[in-house]
Amino acid sequence: MSAFEQLPLPLDRSAASETLAMFSDGLEEPGPVAALLVRDAFNELRAATPAEIIAAARRAMARRVRRGIAMDSPRAVREFLTMKLGTLEHETFSVLLLDTRHRLIDYVELFRGTIDKASVHPREVVKLALSRNAAAMVLAHPHPSGAADPSQADELITRRLKEALALVDVRLLDHIIVAGGDAISFADRGLL
């Protein structure tokens, strides 16, 4: 991906080249730019704020992950969930609903909680899976504390959901816990 495609807002190539030259500090060849650039309300270039960069990354990820895209790569699933959940300051319980070929049907934030817990109701998870005709599911939630290790409560609800979903022939593929930029997988740890 080129530097021009990574910018959160449109920027023409000539303006970007001029700006890259400004940041090169007199070096023969411009080095990497320390900041992403955006156009403000007056059509002038300025450095993007961290919030603008994160918002742009979320928009880009949302465009990449759309209905029908194959979610058969654990890396792609983790990247998507890290972008969606990594900066949340509260717990939320989310699901990726997948068809028989593990293509995305929908991403749903099903339950919202407080800074350290969210109530999860297996009945509602099963009801959602049936209403969307899902064949498989990936569970996810953030740990705003920054500790990615699963708690006993996380392990218990995962077992309960796996059993409940199995009764209606929906496979639970994974449960991902996101803590900032880290994401751990129950499947990778042998907890499923």
Helix axes 74-85, 50-64, angle to 10 degrees: 140
- What's the half-sphere exposure (Cβ side, CA atoms, 13 Å) at 38? 13
CB 35 within 8 A of CB 49: no
**Model pLDDT for residues 117-162, shown as the tens digit of each residue:** 778 899 999 999 999 999 999 999 988 888 888 889 899 999 999 9
Distance of CA 133 to the CA centre of its chain: 23
What fold, for 68-185? Cytidine Deaminase; domain 2 (3.40.140)
Phi then psi for residue 73, to 5 deg, are -105, 120
pTM (whole model) above 0.75: no
Domain ranges of the chain: 3-53, 68-185
Of the candidates 25, 128, 88, 43, the one whose C-alpha atom is nearest the C-alpha of residue 9 is 43
Q: What is the pLDDT of residue 164?
A: 96
The fraction of the chain above a pLDDT of 90, given in percent, is: 27
* Each residue's pLDDT tens digit, 95-120: 999 999 988 898 898 888 776 677 88
> What's the pLDDT score for residue 34?
59
